[in-house]
Structure 1
Amino acid sequence: MIDGFIKVAAATPKIKVADCEYNADRILELIHQAEENQVKVVVLPELCITGYTCGELFLQDTLLASALQQLERIIKETSDMEVLVTLGVPVCRNGKLLNTAAVIHKGKLLGLVPKRNLPNYSEFYEARYFMPGPETVEYISVFGQKVPLGTKLLFSCSNLPALTIGVEICEDLWVPMPPSVGHTMAGATLILNPSASDETTGKDIYRRDLIKMQSAKLVCGYIYADSGEGESTTDLVFAGHNLIAENGLLLKESKRFQNEFICSELDVQKLTNERRRMTTFSFSGAESYEFVNFSYGFTEPTETKLTRFIDKAPFVPGRKEERDRRCEEIINIQAYGLKKRLEHTGLKCAVIAISGGLDSTLALLVTCKAFDLLKLDRKGIVTVTMPCFGTTDRTYRNALSLAEQLGTDIKEIPIKDAVLLHFRDIGHDKDVHDITYENSQARERTQIIMDLSNKYNGLVIGTGDMSELALGWATYNGDHMSMYGVNASVPKTLVRYLVSYFAETTEDEKLRSVLLDVLDTPVSPELLPPVEGEIVQKTEDIVGPYELHDFYMYYILRFGFTPTKIYRLAVTAFDGMYDKDTILKWLKTFYRRFFSQQFKRSCLPDGPKVGSVAVSPRGDLRMPSDASAALWLNELNKIQG
């Protein structure tokens, strides 16, 4: 369970109503399947030993005795297994019948968690047979041993401290205050739900959303195992709709009407990290709970093979519909942020340097939208192209065409002579293409747009994106500086999709053509002279692929993962695209640059936050500029060794 990953499963046996021995056989088959797949937690449905649809048969001693007999058999036959099993069984207490979940591990009944909320409306009539379970934990005799029973019962793993398990049963989730709320506030990171939820039209959508939302609200893992084929169809049909969710993310879902066994890996470390970050996630009420300890049979943490999907582009939704919705939302956040700043300052002019590259293109498109919202003439947008040593014909033409198609005020100010004069003033050889050669151009451009903003009473719009800021790939007091940075929390991988979204949605064919060519242009600061008219200074050849850096940035800033865990996730996500040495090389580069370049982020201009990750010193990233990266790099050096 290295890195906090634990393999979990939800399974639906095909049962025969009231045939407990047959049902136990099918349950054992699924438990064996879980053990063979190295699953550590498996959940089976509500009352699966008897069947949920037994009706009046629940009042028969023969059925109840058989259920307990088969439960004892399951416990004994799984005594040498690592997997923790949760399944539904009816249990008598003080002459009353309880609908319980039995939690079993290594041949021991760890506890019985009764259902608290019994539905007795529409097609449900559980209160006819069962009593609500007590909250307060008490001990009852089962198979000659004292077993804890109660809804306030949690199961804590001794050798995986991040794993604490709570249980609620079916309807418990659907009420206004589910038991899982108390479970998680008392420390549970994983909620198990043995369920028998019949299928009606559209109910699967509600059920799926409910489970995803509950896991998100409670920052927990959630395993839901549903009854399926084999239950009585006298009045109802059960579809075996099993789900595994983690903090709002659906990791795995079964096909309905299939009685499937599904498994995935939960990241309990991620859940505890997220709770630590969220100061509003409060822990309380643990003193009213009984904690039952259990442990897995390993002395050293083992590695869980990852089968869950690791998105190589965590900032970009995979589905086009969701991606388009996200793009529209982000563009609105950027534009409305700028709109407010222009309204507050009373300015009707914006000044923006355009290069024909992705970032300045997005910034200009956003600025145009802000002006449209304010009903301002786009001629108030002063677009400035400033060709110099590295400018290519392609980017030069695209910059001019873009400004023209958008109806802005275009200014072309070549800076070659000014930069050469500056070289002479500071005694720099123009044939030495070092960082002085490059940054002098960037700072000259910034000086020009700042002075133009004074001349036209305008606001300088920043174009740099969050990926560049994370890497420090910006000239201090050059392109690093502006009066409002609309792209400041937009990662490079998302910039491309935002520009693509504009291209897809515009009705202007000429504008679309320019945008598509911008998208096809290599990312470059164009500060070194081209060779035969082609860009030679490609950013990703120098600092590494942005898709890797954005992946690293997401897991470092969003979840605080260790370097080794991020490396492991990257190896999985980018399998077949980058080899391990390449991933490790650029991960080291990211950490080195991220720490050493914090001073640039410490004095960032204002700009709107658009997602869950941002680097503003006034918002998400309060980090000392002189912090050492040694701990993180040392951990990565051990991987290489």
Structure 2
Amino acid sequence: MSHLITIATCNLNQWALDFEGNRDRILESIKISKERGARLRIGPELEITGYGCLDHFLENDVSLHSWEMYAQIIKRPETHGILLDIGMPLLHKDVRYNCRLLSLDGKILFIRPKIWLANDGNYREMRFFSPWMKTGVVEDFVLPPVIQEVTGQQSIPFGDAVIHTLDTCIGSETCEELFTPQSPHIAMSLDGVEIFTNSSGSHHELRKLNKRLDLIVGATRRCGGVYLYANQRGCDGDRLYYDGCALITVNGRVVAQGSQFSLKDVEVVTATVDLEEVRSYRASVMSRGLQASLSETRYKRIHVPVELAPLSFRFDPTIAPTKSREAFYHIPEEEIALGPACWMWDYVRRCNGSGFFLALSGGIDSCATATIVYSMCRIVLKEIEEGNAQVLQDARKVTRSADDWIPSSPQELTNKLLHTCFMGTENSSKETQNRSAELSQKIGSYHIDLKMDKIVSSMVAIFEVATGKRPIFKIFGGSQIENLALQNIQARLRMVLGYLFAQLLPWVRGIPNTGGLLVLGSANVDECLRGYLTKYDCSSADINPIGGISKTDLKRFIAYASKEFDLPILEDFLNATPTAELEPITKDYVQSDEIDMGMTYEELSEFGYLRKVEKCGPYSMFLKLLHEWTPKLSPSQVAEKVKKFFFFYAINRHKQTVMTPSYHAEQYSPDDNRFDLRPFLINPRFPWAFKKIDQVVAQCEGKTVGNLDVMSVD
């Protein structure tokens, strides 16, 4: 015996406050779902508004426009004949909630508010919404007049309930609720809910997808049932990229999975599942039966007098359950090639930009940024070749090309989109200049070689005229402060020149109707964390695709791209010593980033992870690293490195207040805007913590030490 039903979930590239665009993408997903025979369709979290509205959610206009769009959706006959689960914000008794609205044939069945809100990391949902804390409670919700006119209903159920059709029971979760220790689906499953929906706004981080998929698969492996996961896709108008990967699982098996990175604005994932498999799976587990019979949680059923599986009692040999498959994961190098590239495409096409400008230094960071742009062009070309009309239309719009133009290669598209410039000085080497020029030629960017010594000399001369003092580099006898100032003026002038070129290069090339190029930053997450960059230098830009990626991961990406993209020149960048090239090169001296910082990039990644993810202060970080790094390093060497890291992190924290918006890819990102909320003025010497570290070092070295006045419990 079988009981087959076809269900649909989707990835939608929704944009904050793009009400009509979001509406049209929802309608397209419903159309595709119906064409594939689905009887249930779910979409991403807050899909009508877009998830990333942030403080715009506090504006009542957003709720009003959401109702207006929702009315336009459910009144259309083409949206009838399928159970719809659509997300939007609304007010109930003057309280703002993040809700799922379930409807059928133009009638709203039930509104389910989100119970557990995401309120850490990148998320501040409790700034905008209140959680529904009344377990099992359902109230009447009076519909606004704009909806009453469409549905003929005055009020509907609102609260913690489930939908009960003639042949199954459906319960809703929303995003964060899956990640909580006691997820709602657990109690729902014990009360007989067979189909779970999860509408999500989950962002991409490197190596994060496996955790998400493990939770989804594990939900039905333990509880039995069918789980539909929908997710937002694309740039949210800010630093995050939502990476899709809609999923359908049955009893712990993946039966359908959407793409993680794609330029498709609408992607629908469907599967035909057998509810009898769910019932058999559950009934075979005796402990589940005991827990279900003893469970005191009983959900109110919203009865819907329809059958979602009209063929459930008639055998049809043409319909079969969708076979299970292995879950698919990208390796981190592929994630870097795809995630930031898709984020940049959304950004440039939606901001009415005409391309990018990048200061291509010959180092691995700007090389990685240029390669990601090239990867973006490869993705765009692939979508065009596969017949994606929206991407072709966007490509023509961004490049200001004719209506019949179709790019023939990634290099042709890169030439129209990416403008690179080597901004060299007398401190730059011929090797970096040549690497920049060759990389530009291989990927196709419009490239300029520039010597800026006269500009730098002019600035120093102005200072000398005004003060009577002329600074000189340390290697020629100058002080540390002179040396730093002479480096910083070079970096800051590159930022000024970058914006000049970004505004005027389209004009130089005769590109019509353009307001200029987006300036790309290329400071990696480790340099941001350590503060190893100049405030308002060429890291100050419009967006930074690598600002959340570690140096270690960037190296792996470059090694991957050199082969995958057939760019052997990338090996030269990989093998070069990282250097800012801001100090003179002599027979005996070449500036080195790691020597300047006093720590390796691998150590920086370790420091960053312990500080942010493990929540370590100086003392607890030292104790952890003492066990990990000894005997390779002595206790005093470990202490010195930890102290140095926290000192420079603290004195440079102010730089994060003005850092370029970066693609969020790493858990230890120091982004000051929404992710890493720490002050930027603190005592950089951490006197009490450093005293405790010194005491432990002395104990390890067998020295006699005095007691501190107050000792913490370790």
**TM-score for both structures, normalised by structure 1:** 0.48
TM-score normalised per structure 2: 0.43
Q: Which has the larger radius of gyration?
A: 1
